Chain A
Amino acid sequence: MIDVNALIGPYPFRYVPHPDPEVLVHVLAREGLAGAWVGHLPSAFHRDPSAGNSQLFTALATHAPALRPVPTIRPDWPRWHDAVRAAAAAGAPAVRAYPTIWQLGPHDPRMRELALACAEARLALLLTVRFEDLRQRHPLDTAGDLSAAAVRDLARAGAGVRLVVTAAGRDLIEEVHWGLTPEEQRRVVWDISWIWGPPEDHLAKLFHTIGADRFVYGTHWPLRLTQTARANLALLPDDLASARLADPDRLFA
């Protein structure tokens, strides 16, 4: 199993213990995970993410192929197409984008352009609904959660688009999923890092209604306890014991 939602680097709004690739490798081994798609956390907040992307590629180079880089690309930054080409050339499975932090609205054409460029390069576009719980955010952290409308808009951008949406809860997942055609639904997978387990059993309900094959394993490390995703799967009801998550490496298969 692969963790699609891991990051390295510090977080601007609170101390995060040792967010380093060496530690991540150790954590993955402890959790029985084969590898991770890894982003660079500070790049989400940089005006120009290119330096952070370089840092990411360098930091992960000695941990290939277990740790695969997921660079950050701003579609409102000059020559961002070059960054897409560089990501593909570097073997990245996906690129990360943070439209709310960059103040790109839910129907911003530049985000659709990025999704289509990624599709052409057979890169997934990884979106983050939130880094932290709304109730604990720093006063300067005003971006807000990614909206369902933004995800729907990107899912509708084109047939080749593949979205990996991380840190979403049940409400947003359902609002997106049932607001798309069956063909569009197949373009979106969701990580399980922020979906409630029992007694509300949101994850189980989503597996029943949407299907486990629309979900991928994600932990939101280093911000959240890696064990949460494992605990959630372990607590699924017996009738879902054989449920299988999607393989993120086969999104374009």
Chain B
Amino acid sequence: MTAVPSVTPLAGPGPLIDVHAHFFHARGPRADWAAVNDARFRAGERIGITYHVASILGSWGLSSPVYFPSPSDVTDGNDAMLAIARAHPDRVRAYVTVNPNHTAHAVAEIDRCVARGAVGVKLAASRRADDPLLDAVCEAAARHGLPILHHIWQHRTRDWPSQEISDGADLAVLARRHPAVTFILAHIGGGGDYMHTFPAIVDAPNVVVDVSGSGVDRGMLDEAILRLGAERVLWGSDVTMETGLAKLMGVEAIRLTADQTALIRWGNARRIFPAGSFPTVEPAAARQAAG
């Protein structure tokens, strides 16, 4: 565990929620898993991340594929993720990861992990987003009031190896079937053509986007905010935190209002996750509500 920072965070002093983080665990393929987790905490402290909302995708490929995790790997990964959240209650929240091909297990896993503190559902790429098989998962999410973070390729022009990839248009179809659920379209900087994503989802108001991913194209943030509005854009990092920090610096450079910036940093996350998920953010929310 790393020390609490004593300097002003690089991203400024306000609350900051990373809605797209990952951790690793001992039952995956990486010998350096603990060091990578520590590095996320270290960078998070330096950046000023208030909460990491994170998932573990099964065994990360050790005993079943990352995007097609077996039920037992799903359970192991979720248990590891919940353990990290329990060990860091002040800064980590867990998604429950599911594979909808094993529908009964997926729904049971959502119930089980919500009872243990999960605040959202993570869907990787085990099934295309518009597939009816996802309906049971969405209904479970609705029942618990959870958002669904859905792994997305920005403009699917063909199949890609090792995943049943979806894009914004696919997710919009699912979102229209489940208007009570908020869907977080993952990582607009995570590959593919984000310029396709924005018009594909603009008419599906229960789809929001996270800005995570290694892609840092100039113009991407501006377009996301212009096309969708700041109230549909959430901050996240995924596997590259320096690009996450750069995007926060980029948001500063494009001179949004303080309210818009607050929405992206934490306000939208506070709105779409279950009430009370981020208690240390509440004072800032109260101050903002008071004007």
- Cβ of A16 within 8 Å of any chain B Cβ, yes or no, is yes
CA distance A226 to B246 in the complex (A): 8
Contacting pair A136 B216 (CB below 8 A):
no
Specify which of A132, A136, A203 lies most central, judged by the most chain B CB atoms within 10 Å of its CB: A136
Q: Which residues of A contact B192 (CB under 8 A)?
A: 135-136
- Is the pair B218, A231 in contact by a Cβ cutoff of 8 Å? no
Whether A235 and B241, one on each chain, are in contact in the complex, defined by CB atoms closer than 8 angstroms, is: yes
Majority secondary structure of chain A interface residues (helix, strand, loop or mixed): loop
**Do A136 and B191 contact each other (CB < 8 Å), given the known contacts A198-B43, A223-B218, A224-B217?**
yes
Q: Tell me the bound Cα distance from A223 to B47 in angstroms.
A: 24
Note all chain A residues with C-beta closer than 8 A to B247. Answer: 225
B218 adjacent to A222 (CB under 8 Å): yes
Query: Closest residue of chain A to B40, judged by CB?
Result: A199
Q: State how many residues of chain B have any CB contact under 8 Å with chain A.
A: 36
Interface pair A197/B241, CB less than 8 Å apart: yes
Known: A136-B193, A228-B216. Contact between A198 and B250, CB under 8 A? no
Number of A-B contacts (CB under 8 A): 98
Any chain B CB within 8 A of the CB of A230? yes
Are the C-beta atoms of A198 and B242 separated by less than 8 Å? yes
Q: Which residue of A lies closest to B191 (CB)?
A: A135
DSSP majority for the B interface? helix
What's the nearest-Cβ distance from chain B to residue A132, in Å? 8
Which residue among A199, A203, A232 has the maximum number of chain B CB atoms within 10 Å of its CB? A199
Bound form: Cα–Cα A133–B216 in Å = 10
- Which residue of the partner chain, among A203, A223, A231, contacts B245 with CB atoms under 8 Å? A231
Identify A200's interface contact among B10, B193, B217, B239, CB under 8 A: B239
Interface residues of B in 1-52 (CB under 8 A from A): 10, 36-37, 39-40, 42-43, 46-47
The interface centre, meaning the residue of B46, B157, B222, B240 with most chain A CB atoms within 10 A of its CB, is B240
The residues of A with any CB-CB pair to B shorter than 8 Å are 14-17, 30, 132-133, 135-136, 139, 196-201, 203, 221-228, 230-232, 234-235, 237
Q: State the B residues within 8 Å of A (CB).
A: 10, 36-37, 39-40, 42-43, 46-47, 153-155, 157, 191-195, 214-219, 222, 239-243, 245-247, 249-250, 253
